[in-house]
Amino acid sequence: MLRLTCPVCGATGEETEFHAGGEAHLKRFGPGSTDEDFRDYLFQRQNPRGVHFERWRHQYGCGKWFHVARCTQTLEVFGSYTAQTSTVPDHIQSAIKARRPDWEPAQ
Amino acid sequence: MFEPRTALQGAHFSGDITVTDAGLVGMIAIRGSLTDPALCAAVAEVTGHPVPATRKMSGDATDGLAWMSADELMLFCAYGDAPTVAARLVDALGDVHSMVSVLSDARAVIRLHGDVVREVLAKGAPVDLAPDQFAQGDIRRSRLGQVAVAFWMTGADSAELVCFRSVAGFVFEWLSTASQSGSAVGYFATPRR
Amino acid sequence: MSTRIQSGGRLIDRSRKIGFTFNGQRLTGHPGDTLASALLGSGQVLMGRSFKYHRPRGPVGAGSEEPNALMGLGQGAHFEPNQRATVAELHDGLAATSQNHWPSLDMDVGALNAAMSRFFPAGFYYKTFMAPRSAWKHVFEPVIRKAAGLGKAPTQPDADRYEYFYAYVDVLVVGGGMAGLQAALEAGRAGARVLLLEQTAHLGGRLLSDEVEIDGQPSDIWLAAAVAELQGMDNVTIRTRMMGAGVYDHGYVTGYERLTDHLENATGPRHRLWRIRTDRIVTATGAIERPLSFAGNDVPGVMLAAALRDYVTLYGVTPGDRTVVVTNNDDAYRTAIALKLAGLEVPVILDARDAAIGPLPRQARDLGIRVEVGKGVASVKGGKKVEAVEICSQAGEGTVLETIPCDAVAMSGGWSPVVHLWSHCGGKLVWDVDQAHFRPDASRPPTDHNGAGYVITAGSASGALLSGDAMQDAAAAGRRAAAEVGFIPSEGDAPTAMAEPEEPVQPVWMMPAGASYKLRSKAFLDFQNDVKVSDVQLAAQEGFESVEHAKRYTTLGMATDQGKLSNINGLAVLADSLGTTIPQVGTTTFRPPYTPISMGAIAGEARGAIFKPTRKSPIDGWHDENDAVWEPVADWRRPYTYRRAGETTEQAVHREIRNTRTNVGLLDASTLGKILVKGPDAAKFLDLIYTNMMSSLKPGRCRYGLMCTENGFLFDDGVVVRLSEDSFLCHTTSGGSDGVHAWMEEWLQTEWWDLEVFTSNVTEQFAQVAVVGPKARQLLESLGGMDVSKEALSFMGYAEGELGGIPARVFRISFSGELSYEIGVPASYGRAFWDMLLEKGAALGVMPYGTEALHVMRAEKGFIMIGDETDGTVTPHDLALGWAVSKKKEDFIGKRALQRPDMIRADRKQLVGLATEDPATVLPDGAHAVAGVNEYGDPKTIGHVTSTYFSPTMERSIAMALIDGGAGRMGEVLEFPVGKDSVIRATVVDPVFYDKAGERQDV
Amino acid sequence: MKRYSAFAIAREAFRHHTGWERAWRSPQPKAEYDVVIVGAGGHGLATAYYLAKNHGITNVAVVEKGWLGGGNTGRNTTIIRSNYLQPSSMAIFEKSRGLYEDLSQDLNYNIMFSPRGVMMLAQTEHELRAWKRTAHANRIAGIESEMVTPQQIQEMIPIIQTAGPRYPVLGGLWQARGGSARHDAVAWGYARAASNMGVDIIQQCEVIGVDRDASGVTGIQTTKGAIRTKKLCIVVAGNSGVLADMAGFKLPVESVALQALVSEPIKPALDCVVMANTVHGYMSQSDKGEMVIGGGADSFNNYTQRGSFHHLEETVRALIETFPMVSRLKMLRHWGGIVDMTGDRSPIIGTTPVPGVFINCGWGTGGFKAIPGSGWATAEMLADGAPRALAAPFALDRFTQGRMIDESVAAAVAH
Ligand SMILES: Cc1cc2nc3c(=O)[nH]c(=O)nc-3n(C[C@H](O)[C@H](O)[C@H](O)COP(=O)(O)OP(=O)(O)OC[C@H]3O[C@@H](n4cnc5c(N)ncnc54)[C@H](O)[C@@H]3O)c2cc1C
Ligand SMILES: NC(=O)c1ccc[n+]([C@@H]2O[C@H](COP(=O)([O-])OP(=O)(O)OC[C@H]3O[C@@H](n4cnc5c(N)ncnc54)[C@H](O)[C@@H]3O)[C@@H](O)[C@H]2O)c1
Ligand SMILES: Cc1cc2nc3c(=O)[nH]c(=O)nc-3n(C[C@H](O)[C@H](O)[C@H](O)COP(=O)(O)O)c2cc1C
Ligand SMILES: [Zn+2]
């Protein structure tokens, strides 16, 4: 039963206040993209056993989406940050590095 | 004969605490950037309340302004005043990118009163309701049992709660069940009055 | 004989007697008794039958670890099977029944299994019962099912009530023994918010039975002071009768509080499930004594040494007058001493160790008790109760040296820390060679959201078995917990606790060490599931080497006690059989709950009226008063139809349709989703959300719109109204409103956050009534107010104003093909508006209609219904709605998906109408059309019926279907096999059955 | 291998069961195999068994990181049914159910297949129509399943409450020859039979790398050393993404925890499997007497074999609403498994972008029932190098083409 902190309203709440939204930072492929790129965007997920960047919505709270860096193996949370970012912010990367020195961002 | 009615139609329950339909309440959702000084000024001017800080509320359901989200406020006023207040807000906001919608009828407000108000809420809301963690002036949007609610303390032993109109009956029933006599938990210190 | 003795019994009130029944027999006990102690006090040692062999059993423990003494408690709507008599507190009128026997506890036919046990070793059922094939289901399985299963199933709905409670603390202490109390004191004094849970009714843990010296005084004095101090702290809460049930990720703990089980007549909830969120957990859960594995260790009267001591000390009862003590450690001598001091006989203490030289053995000898070292039990004699013990040398094969008559045996194989809560979320264990047990490895704790260890063990739960160590460990644990959550703990000396020093335990996994097969097959490891030493050895022999395989093959540890007594002994046997070490073998996975918890508590308050929220429209009351047949639609309830006296449901629906098509009908459409979308980019945004072009819509006009998922499939539809240049009102399906609103917000917040758009879900702000039928306009005009004439408000138009004095938004849209207005009024006026329509419309023949009439009427018009014509795999093109998919727009959600190879296949399923050859025959729901044979050799299905009705308007059956390449099959006759040898033939037709030209709605 | 029978038990009883042999061998890995299967779950073991039995390919290793059958096969609620909606699903699940009928005899291992029937309740009009549609599809495909009325349901399942206030039961889809089997026995039975035919089952051997050259796969790296092979089949359920990553491709799969729980055992009270999809409650009673209850899946990626507690609350509430007596039972134990959910919630069986690497995954919440059929079809594919009719529709390319096999059409879940 996760506890997450919403970076928008600052509330720390339990998982049931939130709604999980899958992998973060997907690049949307629209008309004009190849079938393969489109498939990757729609279906192929990192699904790592380890550090995962994912989307959550503070569904019962402020209603806002945000991003979380979390380990899928230990469920440890490295930080949460706003949804209006296309890449993992530096401070989150360093928070992960601090606890997982071997971790490298995915290509 | 054709009078407006709340969803709960004045319902009242008395057990470990009292649970009461607050009656018709004017409610206006204001969306816009809460960091925009123009918006803050307009809202303060029309409502008489400063824009509250994150998860704070000024006043109560009779006259109050609550933080709902980073770009959303909820104004409480008299039911009959809501349309005109909303119109005044729209005027005052002018060109500021914003949205004002009257939601007086979309919500129900319930008043809770009694020594164990915090405990009754803590039976359904995953929120730290200890007096030093959740005080008057705080508002929390969360869930109660299986539905979305927002609540705030109006005194040491009283609170108000707002929920969607369609589930008002459910919430009322839920609160009455949780406060049936003999179900007090005895966890939070009894408030001093 | 088992009996109440004159002395001892600190937990009972001897001055009062209370009555209870056991298998219908009236017995008495004292307040403070457990059911087990009261039964022992009444001469009843035999309390149940085991699972597999139906062997007679008495209690082996005195607490929550008990595997044997399980009973059905209560009656009728309060009956519950499989309750442990050792923790059930006695109350007046308690009704207990023993289980798993027929015809009676004393005489059980199932006990034949025991006699046949040589044919029923571990896993025997995997090897037989295979022929003939059907015999398993019809012969063998029913017999097995009947024999298994322990307690009787409750038959009535539960009369009790349950609830939850959320608590937030800095430090949660589980266990109210010496260690838990000390840890709580330390954390509490430092200022942390502390919650302490104790599963029993009493604080003190083992101190209650085994008094030690704390700071030079009897521990009772310390105990009283500690409790008083804790109770005096505002930041500390103590709850008894509350078990730490499970430890979960991120500091989440479930606490199982039993509020009324110990009361005769109680009000209020029976159990309360606490969901505790804490930063640090101190588990001070104590240790559990292990049985010894000797033949006949399950005969009623054989007990754990400390349990026997508890019965004597706490309840003043004993299972026998002559107790043989058998042990491999010093602690069990306390039992011998306690028995002797209570005036009971202890003919011998059998100590498997080579020597017994500590102060406790010395004290026992001084009391005149015979102590035999290097000796053990070869076998316990007796069936339903202990009659004698055969003594042998521990090192040998079980040659009987002497037979000692006795009626009870106290056994101790050493102590295992209670590591369950530590382990639930991944805390690791180490094997402590000296103490012969697994204890928490403090360097590998379970980790929380910050990656930090969040469980700290205290006292004997850490493996600090001796009082002095336990106290030091507990104080350190409490201080560490407080410090880790940001408080400054005391640095002073912790109290010193002192008990008699103890010599080391000597592991004994089989008694005697060289026991023959005969003895091993009578030495029980798992009492409840009847798993013997020989079973685990067989598992190893057959290659079930992993401890998890051995568990599953033998069912060791899978009973209702989850192996609290058996696991370590079983591991040891497995390790020995495999020629490896216990830590190599490792433990099975510890899973919550610590002991079983009621399903009622897990469900909490959510039952009956508040099982799930029911959303009700503002007009719900009227429907309820007027015989609505309800239909759940998402969380809403909606009237399916209003059935009048003497009508069938179908007749009611047809009446409603006919009336709507000839006079005027009213539909409560309040549940339809309504979402406001406003901002400079609103039109641009809706162009992305909808497949159609919405930016070209004129203010004051309505347009039917479709929404696809990014995968190209249709998922919601509805009418979009342009309220003004920069604001739109989007209608959604009733079930879709929350989803569509969330969908819009998701795109706005996470993909197109540069767009200046706000949305607001105003669904519940408005009660919406569809006024439908040729007399609709007449009805509205009779209300007085805004102009609703054709000229002022044309088809697909929108206007705001007042009707009958109520503010109204009127949409001229039609889902039935009739002249139709949908009118939104503030929800608080919804009922008033509805009543007004009924009153004014009476003369016009106004009549409400329900969802089924709505469905039939839209089908008559060939309109699709999300969920009927769509199922998550259907595109707008499949439904011939290509006209609503913009070709001009560069992008919209789903556009790219619709270009994939499979989506542009010509032979996709397409929407058609169907006319059965016999107009009276209605195609069944979901019937499939077939033609030819598929790749598996079955008839090839070419599509299925999506909507099918008898149309009272057309006076014939109508249907819609999705058919492979349907658009190209007009006029074809399709075959729908609908039952054995029965086929319905239907012609493919245009799905619009009624008023193809659309003349009726545009008037 | 000595045959199991009542006679064998009697014989052994008189010699203290000393004559029982190991159920399967525990060999060290050889340097090379014709086929290496990763994952000794039901699907991997069944694949090995049918490779040996149907295709005579026995130089096969099944490599397992833990203990065989310890993945989802050993932790599922054992519901077996074949009344699916889409033709390709019906084909493989019915093939599987048919194989289950004779599996005990085929394997000489009592896997306790118990066709006690599966009842899928319809609690909304929409669900009722969906089940009717399924019933038609099933009948045409030769699968016995039928709609039953609330009255029939009440008679068949006395403890059910069909007239519940919130979601009264409107009907049910009944598959009489669906049911359950002993989950562990399925894994053990296949392992024993496969081992007996020469398949090496190598436990405690984790695959940690996949070797490949320009032409495709050449072998694997394991915690017990390197193993060469030209045919590698990945059958690791929740860990599929991790293995695909090692092999160098991506899958349309996400791993989440799915939970289950058991009650304490009670005397027989429920004779069939009941699925209440509207309220999310799934329950059957095992031969030992415990109620076996399927819980919900987490909605976030998770490899912990633990799930979030609130799913259990939802499940138990639903069950109490459906079977009020459940309220006075107790939960004995709850656990989770890591299930691999695909983009359309249907499985994947097929070739991969890496030549020589085959995949069988994506069974998600419902693959126990498919073990025999999937093993059969996967063995065909491995023997031929390409899928035959049963497996073909489940190929990976469907996600590129948009050819979804969506069973959620008919049911919210697919247990
Ligand atoms: C709680 C729950 C309830 C369910 N209920 C049902 C149900 O009622 N009916 C139904 O039909 N299905 C059900 N399922 C689904 C079903 O259990 C699975 O679909 C099925 O068991 C999958 O079998 P498998 O052989 O593919 O995977 P598994 O049994 O999980 O086997 C995969 C194996 O691969 C091994 N492995 C992983 N990584 C490696 C590596 N790197 N190297 C070597 N080995 C590795 C694992 O250790 C594991 O043993 C349920 C699942 C769960 C979790
Ligand atoms: N000499 C020995 O071999 C030996 C062995 C064990 C204990 N002891 C003695 O026992 C004392 C140890 O004290 P302690 O406090 O560590 O243990 P304890 O056994 O006295 O107390 C543990 C308490 O935790 C409670 N508990 C256990 N699991 C729980 C759960 N899940 N939820 C709620 N409550 C739970 C128990 O009911 C008990 O009251 C010392 O005096 C020690 O010497 C001695
Ligand atoms: C169908 C089924 C029935 C089970 N019955 C029991 C049971 O009676 N007692 C028990 O302790 N566990 C039972 N379990 C749970 C297992 O002990 C175990 O928790 C599960 O297989 C997951 O493994 P793990 O907990 O070791 O991770 C059962 C599991 C399944 C799949
Ligand atoms: Zn928030």
The answer to whether residue C132 is domain-embedded is no
Pairing label, strands C928-933, C846-848: unpaired
Select from C160, C168, C231, C617 the residue whose CB has the most chain B CBs within 10 Å, as the one to mutate to test that interface. Answer: C168
Domain region containing C756 = 674-763
Gyration radius from chain B CA atoms: 17
Q: Domain ends where: C447, C469, C498?
A: C498
pLDDT of C1002 over the 90 cut:
no
Residues C851 and C839 in one domain: yes
Q: Domain ends where: C763, C781, C816?
A: C763
- Span A71-107, pLDDT tens digits: 999 999 999 999 999 999 999 999 999 999 999 987 6
- Mark out the alpha helices in D227-366 (DSSP H runs): 240-247, 309-322
C638 burial class (0-12, 13-18, 19+ CB within 10 angstroms)?
Answer: buried
CA distances, C393 to each of C353, C525, C569, C615 (Å): 10, 21, 20, 74
Judge whether C226 and C220 are in contact, CB under 8 Å.
Answer: no
- Beta-bridge mates of residue D149: none
Q: What is the mean pLDDT of residues C266-289?
A: 97
Q: Do C451 and A74 touch (CB under 8 A)?
A: yes
> Which chain D residues are closer than 8 Å to A36 by Cβ?
400
Q: Which of C725, C660, C654, C670 lies closest to C696, judged by CA?
A: C725
- Span C673-712, pLDDT tens digits: 999 999 999 999 999 999 999 999 999 999 999 999 999 9
> Which chain A residues are closer than 8 Å to C742 by Cβ?
19, 57, 59
Measured from the alpha carbon of residue D241, the closest ligand is: 1
CATH number at residue C72: 3.10.20.440
Burial A61-95 (b: 16+ CB within 10 A, else e): bbbbbbbbbbbbebbbbbbbbbbeeeebeeebbee
Residues C29 and C87 in one domain: yes
| CB-side neighbour CA atoms (13 Å) of C781 | 12
A72 and chain D in contact, CB less than 8 A: yes
Please, what are the domains in chain A?
Answer: 3-25+43-99 (3.30.2270.10)
Residues C655 and C746 in one domain: no
Select from A4, A9, A66 the residue whose CB has the most chain B CBs within 10 Å, as the one to mutate to test that interface. Answer: A9
pLDDT of B192 over the 70 cut:
no
Which residues of A fall below an 8 Å CB-CB distance to C?
Answer: 1-3, 14, 19, 21, 28-33, 35, 38, 42, 55, 57, 59, 63-65, 74-77, 83-84, 99
pLDDT for res A107: 63
Select from C758, C837, C840 the residue whose CB has the most chain B CBs within 10 Å, as the one to mutate to test that interface. Answer: C758
Q: What string of DSSP letters covers C537-558?
A: HHHHHTT--SHHHHHHHHTTT-
CA C228 to centroid of chain Cα atoms: 37
C440 burial class (0-12, 13-18, 19+ CB within 10 angstroms)?
Answer: buried
3-state secondary structure of C898: helix
Q: Distance, CA C38 to ligand 1 centroid (Å)?
A: 48
Q: Do B69 and A11 touch (CB under 8 A)?
A: no
> What tokens appear for C415 in the block?
């102590």
pLDDT for res B193: 40
User: Chain D 211-250, CB below 8 Å of chain C: which residues?
Assistant: none
C753 and chain A in contact, CB less than 8 A: yes
pLDDT for res B190: 54
- Span C28-38, pLDDT tens digits: 999 999 999 99
Residue nearest to atom 35 of ligand 2 (CA): C175
Q: Do C449 and A21 touch (CB under 8 A)?
A: no
Give the one of D5, D159, D203 whose C-beta lies nearest to C128's C-beta.
D5
What is the percent of chain C with per-residue pLDDT over 70, rounded to a whole number? 100
At a CB cut-off of 8 Å and minimum separation 6, what does C134 contact?
none
What is the percent of chain B with per-residue pLDDT over 70, rounded to a whole number? 97
CA distances, C870 to each of C673, C877, C880, D132 (Å): 18, 12, 12, 16
DSSP character for C924?
Answer: P
3-state secondary structure of C750: helix
- Span B76-103, pLDDT tens digits: 999 999 999 999 999 999 999 999 999 9
Q: What is the mean pLDDT of residues C860-882?
A: 95
D260 lines ligand 1 (CB under 6 A): yes
Residues C631 and C716 in one domain: no
> Which chain A residues are closer than 8 Å to C901 by Cβ?
35
B141 vs chain A: nearest CA distance in angstroms? 5
Judge whether D84 and D90 are in contact, CB under 8 Å.
Answer: yes
Nearest-angstrom CA–CA distance, D234 and D365: 18
Q: Which of A70, C789, C150 lies closest to D291, judged by CA?
A: C150
Ligand 3 atom nearest residue D334's Cα: 19
CA distances, B66 to each of B23, B52, D79 (Å): 19, 6, 50
CATH number at residue C910: 2.40.30.110
CATH number at residue C483: 3.50.50.60
> Which chain C residues are closer than 8 Å to B31 by Cβ?
758, 760
Phi-psi region for residue C301, left (φ > 0), alpha (ψ -120 to 50) or beta? left
Domain D115-178+254-341: give its CATH code: 3.30.9.10
> What tokens appear for C34 in the block?
């457990």
The answer to whether residue B186 is domain-embedded is no
Judge whether A12 and C259 are in contact, CB under 8 Å.
Answer: no
Give the one of D20, D132, D266 whose C-beta lies nearest to C153's C-beta.
D266
Mutate which of D45, D47, D49, D73 for ligand 1 pocket (most atoms within 8 A of beta carbon): D73
On the question of a cis peptide bond just before residue C593, with omega within 30 degrees of 0, the verdict is: yes
CATH number at residue C757: 3.30.70.1400
H/E stretch holding C945 reads strand C939-951
The answer to whether residue C369 is domain-embedded is no
Residues C280 and C424 in one domain: yes
On the question of a cis peptide bond just before residue D29, with omega within 30 degrees of 0, the verdict is: no
Could you write out the three-class secondary structure of chain B?
A: CCCCCCCCCCCEEECCCEEEECCCCEEEEEEECCCCHHHHHHHHHHHCCCCCCCCEEEECCCCEEEEEECCEEEEEECHHHHHHHHHHHHHHHCCCCEEEEECCCCEEEEEEECCCHHHHHHCCCCCCCCCCCCCCCEEEEEEECCEEEEEEEEECCEEEEEEEHHHHHHHHHHHHHHCCCCCCCCCCCCCCC
Residues C771 and C653 in one domain: yes
Q: Which residue has the tokens 């093939």?
A: D95
pLDDT for res C1003: 87
Residues C679 and C713 in one domain: yes
Provide the 10 A C-beta neighbour count for residue D146. 15
CATH number at residue B28: 3.30.1360.120
Q: Distance, CA D332 to ligand 3 centroid (Å)?
A: 9
The answer to whether residue B94 is domain-embedded is yes
Phi, psi (degrees; rounded to nearest 5) at C564: -60, -35
Residues C658 and C772 in one domain: yes
C465 lines ligand 2 (CB under 6 A): yes
CA C945, C946, C949, C951 dihedral sign is negative
Q: Do A44 and D251 touch (CB under 8 A)?
A: yes
Measured from the alpha carbon of residue A9, the closest ligand is: 4
Judge whether C947 and C870 are in contact, CB under 8 Å.
Answer: no
Domain region containing B46 = 12-180
H/E stretch holding A97 reads helix A90-99
- Span C682-692, pLDDT tens digits: 999 999 999 99
Residues C732 and C777 in one domain: no
Could you write out the three-class secondary structure of C686-707?
A: HHHHECCCCCCCCCCEEEEEEE
CA D239 to centroid of chain Cα atoms: 15
Look up the ipTM and state it.
0.97
On the question of a cis peptide bond just before residue C774, with omega within 30 degrees of 0, the verdict is: no
The answer to whether residue C392 is domain-embedded is no
A48 and chain D in contact, CB less than 8 A: yes
| CB-side neighbour CA atoms (13 Å) of D36 | 28
Q: Domain ends where: C498, C529, C559?
A: C498
- Going from N- to C-terminal start, the domains of chain D cover 115-178+254-341
On the question of a cis peptide bond just before residue A48, with omega within 30 degrees of 0, the verdict is: no
CA B21 to centroid of chain Cα atoms: 12
- Span C558-584, pLDDT tens digits: 999 999 999 999 999 999 999 999 999
> What tokens appear for D128 in the block?
């009722």
B169 and chain C in contact, CB less than 8 A: yes
The answer to whether residue C540 is domain-embedded is no
What is the percent of chain C with per-residue pLDDT over 90, rounded to a whole number? 96
Q: Do A42 and C897 touch (CB under 8 A)?
A: yes
Judge whether C809 and C824 are in contact, CB under 8 Å.
Answer: yes
Considering chain C, what is the average pLDDT of its residues? 97
Q: Do B126 and A63 touch (CB under 8 A)?
A: no
Measured from the alpha carbon of residue D246, the closest ligand is: 1
Q: Do C896 and A29 touch (CB under 8 A)?
A: yes
pLDDT of C623 over the 60 cut:
yes
> pLDDT tens string for chain D (415 positions)?
789 999 999 999 999 999 999 999 999 999 999 999 999 999 999 999 999 999 999 999 999 999 999 999 999 999 999 999 999 999 999 999 999 999 999 999 999 999 999 999 999 999 999 999 999 999 999 999 999 999 999 999 999 999 988 899 999 999 999 999 999 999 999 999 999 999 999 999 999 999 999 999 999 999 999 999 999 999 999 999 999 999 999 999 999 999 999 999 999 999 999 999 999 999 999 999 999 999 999 999 999 999 999 999 999 999 999 999 999 999 999 999 999 999 999 999 999 999 999 999 999 999 999 999 999 999 999 999 999 999 999 999 999 999 999 887 654 444 4
Q: Do C450 and A38 touch (CB under 8 A)?
A: no
H/E stretch holding D60 reads strand D60-63
pLDDT of C1 over the 50 cut:
yes
pLDDT for res D415: 45
> Which chain C residues are closer than 8 Å to A30 by Cβ?
891, 895-896
Number of structural domains in chain B: 1
pLDDT for res D363: 97
Pairing label, strands B158-164, C302-304: unpaired
DSSP character for D215?
Answer: T
The answer to whether residue C379 is domain-embedded is no
- Span C388-404, pLDDT tens digits: 999 999 999 999 999 99
pLDDT for res D165: 84
